[in-house]
């Protein structure tokens, strides 16, 4: 049910801040990265949350920190180990950039993290959003964040499309400077759990009295339909090994990671051994896996090595569903964000 229309109340910044923080104090989800303001942990979580669902990040966050508990350990790790720990989160460029930035912090800054958003932006892979998020949450710097959730909330509150520098300015104007980290997280949390892209729960929203839209903003957020594709992979398992191929080092997506060999649809093989659904960015894949002799290009990989190998999320999913690796080593079902443009809390 939509709230009954009433005249739009003029926005008071203090009201807005108080309502947001009071709501957040009660309703903030209990998420592992909120247990600490340690900049390394906050940074890792922020990078993981970009374009990835919270549930998927939770699965990987603890294990990643267990393997790389400090920035120095991460800096000292081999890239293949970092990619293996990232497997299932997708968007592997993030892992490479995280690793590169860890090396800068460890080797050029003696393990000391930047404290301001401007300084964070000098690190590889750290953009305006991440810099503001880490600086405000870990160091209390009064700097606002804008991600897809914040943008949606601010547009609906204002009742019009706002974009570019204007939306950053609006977020900055509303920021609570005493609790910037909590305020930023409150805005993102509201967008993720109440002011959702479809069917926002306006009746439970702390901002309902201040909101000009109280529902979806007409004309905004037209989500393009995902493309659909069918692909086929060969699963060849013999003598405790599986045949895998390594993606080229110079391609844009998942460079250097291991996967099953892609093949054309085999003739005369009846039904595939396994069919799974998988989403990558804007494409929904139907993936057919055939128990056939693998093509020549690739390597036999021992099954007990697989959990430590930098597998693509899809390869890990297929190997898990085939019972070749245990479920506990698996990644996530899909790397598509739950509607967030930048991070998917």
Please report, as ranges, the residues that interact with ligand SF4 according to CB under 6 A: 153, 156-157, 194-195, 200, 202, 205, 207-208, 211, 213-215
Encoded tokens for 242: 């599986």
Q: CB of 208: closest distance to ligand SF4 in angstroms?
A: 4
Q: Is residue 309 packed enough to be buried (19+ CB in 10 Å), middle (13-18) or exposed (0-12)?
A: buried
Q: Please state, in angstroms and as integers, the Cα–Cα distance from residue 50 to each residue in 115, 157, 210, 211, following that order.
A: 21, 24, 29, 27
Cβ-based nearer residue to ligand SF4, 210 or 255? 210
Cβ-based nearer residue to ligand SF4, 20 or 83? 20
Q: CB of 216: closest distance to ligand SF4 in angstroms?
A: 7
221 sits in which H/E element:
none
Residue 183 · residue 173 · CB < 8 Å: no
Question: In this structure, is the dihedral angle defined by the CA atoms of residues 30, 200, 49 and 166, taken in order, positive or negative?
Answer: negative
- If one counts every other C-beta atom within 10 angstroms of the C-beta of residue 318, the result is 24
In whole angstroms, give the CA distance from residue 248 to residue 190.
41
Angle at the Cα of 154 from the Cα atoms of 334 and 178, rounded to 5 degrees = 100
Cβ-based nearer residue to ligand SF4, 210 or 291? 210
Q: CB of 116: closest distance to ligand SF4 in angstroms?
A: 30
Q: CB of 206: closest distance to ligand SF4 in angstroms?
A: 8
Instruction: Tell me phi and psi for residue 116, to 5 degrees.
Output: -115, 160
Catalytic residues, which ones?
A: 46
Cβ-based nearer residue to ligand SF4, 71 or 202? 202
Q: CB of 200: closest distance to ligand SF4 in angstroms?
A: 4
Strand-pairing partners, residue 287, are: 231, 276
Strand-pairing partners, residue 343, are: 50
Q: CB of 90: closest distance to ligand SF4 in angstroms?
A: 28
Cβ-based nearer residue to ligand SF4, 162 or 231? 162
Place of tokens 């860890």: 102
Q: CB of 338: closest distance to ligand SF4 in angstroms?
A: 16
Strand-pairing partners, residue 278, are: 285
Encoded tokens for 200: 């926002």
Encoded tokens for 207: 């901002």
Q: What is the DSSP string of 234-294?
A: E--EETTEEEEEEPPTTSSSSTT-EEPPEEPPPTT--S-SEEEEEEETTEEEEEEEE--PP
In whole angstroms, give the CA distance from residue 298 to residue 244.
6
Cβ-based nearer residue to ligand SF4, 214 or 320? 214
């Amino acid at each position: 049910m939509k709230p009954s229309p009433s005249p739009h109340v003029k926005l008071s910044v203090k009201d807005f801040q108080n309502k947001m923080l009071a709501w957040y104090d009660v309703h903030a989800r209990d998420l592992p990265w909120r247990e600490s303001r340690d900049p390394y942990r906050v940074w890792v979580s922020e990078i993981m949350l970009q374009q990835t669902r919270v549930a998927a990040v939770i699965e990987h966050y603890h294990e990643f920190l267990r393997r790389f508990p400090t920035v120095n350990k991460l800096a000292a790790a081999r890239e293949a180990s970092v990619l293996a720990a990232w497997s299932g989160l997708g968007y592997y460029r993030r892992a490479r950039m995280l690793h590169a930035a860890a090396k800068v912090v460890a080797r050029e800054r003696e393990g000391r993290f930047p404290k301001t958003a401007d300084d964070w932006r000098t690190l590889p892979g750290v953009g305006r959003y991440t810099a503001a998020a880490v600086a405000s949450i870990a160091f209390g710097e009064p700097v606002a964040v804008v991600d897809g959730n914040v943008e949606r909330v601010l547009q609906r509150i204002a009742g019009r499309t706002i974009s570019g520098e204007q939306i950053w300015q609006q977020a900055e104007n509303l920021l609570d400077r005493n609790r910037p980290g909590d305020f930023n997280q409150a805005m993102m949390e509201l967008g993720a759990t109440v002011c959702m892209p479809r069917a926002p729960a306006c009746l439970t929203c702390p901002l309902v009295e201040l909101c000009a839209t109280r529902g979806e903003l007409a004309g905004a957020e037209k989500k393009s339909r995902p493309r659909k594709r069918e692909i086929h992979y060969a699963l060849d398992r013999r003598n405790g090994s599986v045949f895998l191929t390594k993606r080229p080092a110079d391609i844009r997506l998942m460079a250097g990671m291991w996967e099953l060999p892609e093949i054309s649809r085999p003739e005369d093989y009846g039904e595939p051994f396994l069919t799974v659904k998988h989403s990558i960015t804007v494409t929904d894949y139907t993936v057919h896996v055939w128990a056939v002799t693998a093509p020549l290009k690739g390597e036999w990989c021992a099954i007990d090595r697989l959990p430590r190998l930098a597998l693509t999320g899809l390869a890990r999913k297929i190997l898990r569903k085939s019972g070749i690796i245990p479920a506990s080593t698996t990644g996530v079902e899909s790397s598509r964000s739950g509607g967030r443009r930048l991070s998917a809390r």
